[in-house]
């Protein structure tokens, strides 16, 4: 078995887009920051989102059965920090941006790089995390042309090579 510290240090070298994952419904409005999001298939268009099972909003995401993956632009580092901050209330987190809704009813961040509005179709529990398989109901493309990634335990802004950040 690989040592947990070695695994975490190695995974820090695997860069990932930073997203704010949101939900709303009968169980309430919640959100968290994640980099564990990836494509599963394009037929039907499906993403997976990993969430710690110990998170205080894990049950609410499951109960609501819907979520939105709000992919952050390069200027959203502070917003990412707000949604990762366990001392901030959900109202304080959501006050950091402007929101709308699409088909699922989950909060959609207006100035995100892209929004994937999803219905949770399956959940698998693996170790410390829940894996949400999310069928995409709608996609909203934002206007930003730079992204925010997390690599080597730090945020990095990425841009097209022809543009300056």
The token pair that represents 124 in the structure block: 């698998």
**How high is the pLDDT of residue 143?**
80
**How high is the pLDDT of residue 126?**
97
**How high is the pLDDT of residue 160?**
77
User: Burial letters for 89-116: b for 16+ Cβ neighbours within 10 Å, e otherwise?
Assistant: ebeebbebbebeebebbbbbbeebbbbb
**How high is the pLDDT of residue 162?**
67
**How high is the pLDDT of residue 164?**
67
**How high is the pLDDT of residue 129?**
97
For the chain (length 165 residues), average pLDDT per consecutive 10? 94 95 98 97 98 96 98 96 96 97 97 97 97 98 91 92 69
Query: Which is nearest to 117 in space by CA: 130, 131, 99, 129?
Result: 99
Residue the block writes with tokens 């998170």: 55
Residues 79, 33: Cα–Cα separation, whole Å = 9
Domains belonging to the chain, first-starting first, are: 4-159 (2.30.110.10)
Query: Which is nearest to 79 in space by CA: 110, 116, 119?
Result: 110
């Amino acid at each position: 078995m690989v040592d947990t510290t070695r695994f975490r240090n190695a995974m820090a070298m695997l860069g990932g887009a930073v997203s704010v994952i949101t939900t709303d419904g009968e169980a309430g409005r919640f959100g968290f920051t994640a980099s564990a999001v990836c494509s599963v298939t394009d037929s039907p268009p499906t993403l997976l989102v990993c969430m710690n099972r110990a998170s205080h909003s894990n049950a609410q995401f499951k109960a609501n059965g819907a979520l939105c993956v709000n992919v952050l632009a390069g200027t959203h580092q502070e917003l990412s920090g707000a949604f990762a901050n366990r001392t901030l209330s959900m109202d304080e987190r959501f006050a950091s941006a402007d929101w709308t809704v699409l088909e699922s009813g989950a909060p959609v961040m207006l100035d995100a790089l892209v929004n994937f509005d999803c219905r949770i179709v399956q959940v698998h529990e693996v170790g410390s995390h829940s894996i949400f398989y999310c069928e995409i109901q709608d996609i909203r493309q934002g206007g930003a042309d730079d992204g925010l990634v997390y690599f080597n335990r730090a945020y990095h802004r990425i841009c097209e090579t022809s543009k300056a950040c």
